[in-house]
Amino acid sequence: MNGYTWDSSVVFSSLPQLMSGLAVTLQLTGICAVIGLVGGFLVCLMAMSRILPLRWIAVIFIELFRCTPALVQIIWIFYCVPFFFGIFMDPFTMAVLALGMNITAFNAEAYRAAIQAIPSSHYDACTALGLSSLKRTIYVILPQAVLLAIPVLLTNTIGLLQQTALVAIVAISDLMYQGKSLATQTYRPIEIYSTVAFIYFILSLPLSQVVGFCEKRLRARLA
């Protein structure tokens, strides 16, 4: 391999710094995942609302975030929001804002697809059973929508975990950022980046297993 020898000691000596980066990555993922689960549902309700202005706002929001690269969104929010709106926040909050809005847009679509997958005959059945539209939403539509949306929501959350690596570019000390600085400090990019990749993989793998498990369970339940 071009005379390059693998040095495991670099991996171990850089672990503490990588772990501190990992803590930031997990924090960022956790906060944005919660924002996405709740915000996504609210934006979905707006997008399906009968009130046209609400619907337009939601649709514009969804399409803006779905049709631009996440990296561009992060950089844009980081540099342009302070410039255009005069809002100054610490970098971590900026990152939460960018990634949170991104996953909110994707989750809103997941919820919407799930709600649309519920057959219209269920609405008739609710009427025949005397359930008001509010009770229908709470007891029949919402639980089914969440169940149907779970696999896609989880997939989006795995995507979020990977996407947090993008915030390294705006100097947030996440796992990727720490890896980058260690790689330049130690001149051992091969060992460092391999370790970073391995950590992301180890984190994501169980999550994607959970997705597979959920899909199987759901198929049995909703057959």
Partner 1 sequence: MSSCFLKVQNLRKSYGGLVHVLDGMNFQMEPKERIVVIGPSGSGKSTLLRCIMGLEKIDDGRIEFEGARYIEAQANRRKDNLVDTAVRAKIGMVFQHYTLFPHLTVLGNLVLSPIRARGESRASATERAMQLLKRLGLDNRANAYPGMLSGGQKQRVAIARALLLDPKIMLFDEVTSALDPELVAEVEGLMLELAEQKMSMMIVTHDMWFAKRIATRVIFCADGHIVEDAPPAKIFSDPAEPRTADFLKKVLHVDTVS
How far is residue 9's CA from residue 93's CA, in Å, rounded to a whole number?
Answer: 35
Minimum separation from the CB atom of position 62 to partner 1 (A): 26
* Nearest CB to partner 1, comparing residues 13 and 137: 137
Q: Which stretch binds partner 1 (CB under 8 A): 1-9, 39-47, 87-95, 136-144?
A: 136-144
143 lies in the site for partner 1, by CB under 8 A: yes
Least CB distance from residue 41 to partner 1, whole Å?
16
Q: Which is nearer to partner 1, 113 or 147 (CB)?
A: 147
Are 55 and 48 in contact by the 8 Å Cβ rule? The answer is: yes
In the bound state with partner 1, the residue whose beta carbon lies nearer, of 205 and 222, is 222
* 33 contact partners, CB below 8 Å, separation of at least 6: 103, 157, 160
The nearer residue to partner 1, 89 or 131, going by C-beta atoms, is 131
Rg (CA), the chain: 21
Cα 166 vs. chain centroid, distance in angstroms?
12
CB of 78 to partner 1, least distance (A): 42
User: By C-beta, is 52 or 223 nearer to partner 1?
Assistant: 223
Tokens of 197: 């990749």
48 binds partner 1 (CB under 8 A): no
Least Å distance, CB 109 to partner 1, is: 21
Of residues 105-134, which lie at the interface with partner 1 (CB under 8 A)?
Answer: 119, 121-122, 124-125, 127-132
Q: Which is nearer to partner 1, 94 or 141 (CB)?
A: 141
Stretch that binds partner 1, among 59-67, 137-145, 157-165, 172-180 (CB under 8 A): 137-145
Q: What are phi and psi of 88, to 5 degrees?
A: -115, 125
CB of 108 to partner 1, least distance (A): 21
Positions in the binding site for partner 1 (CB under 8 A): 119, 121-122, 124-125, 127-132, 135, 139-140, 143-144, 147, 220-223
